[in-house]
Structure 1
Amino acid sequence: MASATDQALRAKARALAARILVDLAKSGVATHRGIGRIDTRRAVAADGDVDLDRSLDAVVGARAAGQAISLDDLHVRSWVRPDTALCLLVDRSGSMTGERLATSALAAAAVTYRHGHDCSVVAFGSNAIVVKSQDQSRHADGVADDLLQLRGHGVTDLGLAVRTAASQLGRSRAGRRVTLLLSDARSTSGDDPTADAAALAALGELVILCPAGDRADAEALAEAAGARLVPVDGPGDVPRAIAEALG
């Protein structure tokens, strides 16, 4: 009976912690979604200013026929921002407890809450666990709770992690694809991850979110693979770090 009670209390504590993390994620700085550009689309599918060059023939033809012009025949110009697909890679090797565990769960909650329609969360060590796949619908608190149940152990196969990210992002049609690697980037298993990381960076963007006090390996990988580096100073710094990574 005591064991069952302890398990129930732990489950309630995890659920409460997950909800708190989601609330923190919601209060974070809203992320940018890439650089805007002017695009021309059919008026039936977008708002904006009429593109006279693209619409002139349709306007003249409708006027000559004494008919109202169809929105299908009009084109408008407007600012658009590219959709963004995210993959968060969470390092679960070593001692994944305390502050590091909270940082990972908060990052997962923030990514899922803000980009849940097109994001994936992968926890990795010697293997890769897809906590949320790119095309799966999951609540942020459930994703955070799953990460809170993980315990760090074993070695770090960074090559496997970035290949898994490439596979997940390959399911998306978004114009912008970003991988957030939450890790000290210290690879202790598998092949040298540099080539895989460079290929992932070429697919879109690779941003390494490394501990502020442990960045040497992350800096080396970022330079070799053409990735960006954003240090994270604990759980409270996660919203700022993600906003900078996506800005």
Structure 2
Amino acid sequence: METLVLIPQDLSLALRPGGARGREASVSVWTSAELPRGSLLYPFQGTIRIDKLHVYTYVPDHDIRHRFGLFDEVCTSGGAQVRHCNWVRFLRVSDNYGPQVNLVCTKVKGEPVYEAVKPVSAHTELVVYYLPERPEEMFFVKMRNNLYRQTMDSILEDSPLDLSTSLLSRVLLPISPPSGPEDEHKSVSGDSLTSSSAGSSNELLDMTPKIQRRPAKSERALLPCEVCGKAFDRPSLLKRHMRTHTGK
């Protein structure tokens, strides 16, 4: 299936063909350059890259990534199916904060922020642990999903395809050793957090992003308007736009 992915410049997708006939390929997110500890990544950061991926399934509605910036949509164009998604669609999730985790994700003012908790060398698979959400954040999930859709539509409409960078990694990637169920490329619901991870998550709750990593020139970290969903690449433009809603 033709797949358009919004993905940061320092990341790419790694592909392993499915073993059995008719089985989907296994796709995951890998670094294409070193990520220093404290590097920040955003769901709607990067450029649009395109390739054909043998991935046809949808992410289940209960997948925790829906609450942390996931966008995944399949539409029909010219009689063929086309997938529009962001890099979070292929991100591997761990249900506990173990040694394989190199990203944590929390919400800052309601917006998901992914942070590297250790230096991540090039050609390394990204594995995320989601910090528990505050109860009040659960009430805004549907509204934010609508904002994610509007933001992605705006990016697809306004941004040209990035043909200078391949979506798929061309480097022979090492195979990550299996370490349990979390190595499947599936996320788990927040309700399935184990008691052993509760202590780790409490320690991580105090973590806030410390380093504001500047996006490269070829990529944009867009800021969506919470009222209409229109996205802007500078806070000043968003502030000016908000006056059209507030009248101030």
TM range (shorter): under 0.3
Higher relative contact order (CA 8 A, sep 6+): 2
| More strand by percentage | 2
TM-score, normalization: structure 2? Answer: 0.23
TM-score by length of 1: 0.23
The structure carrying a bigger helix percent of its residues is 1
Query: Which is higher, the Rg of structure 1 or of structure 2?
Result: 1
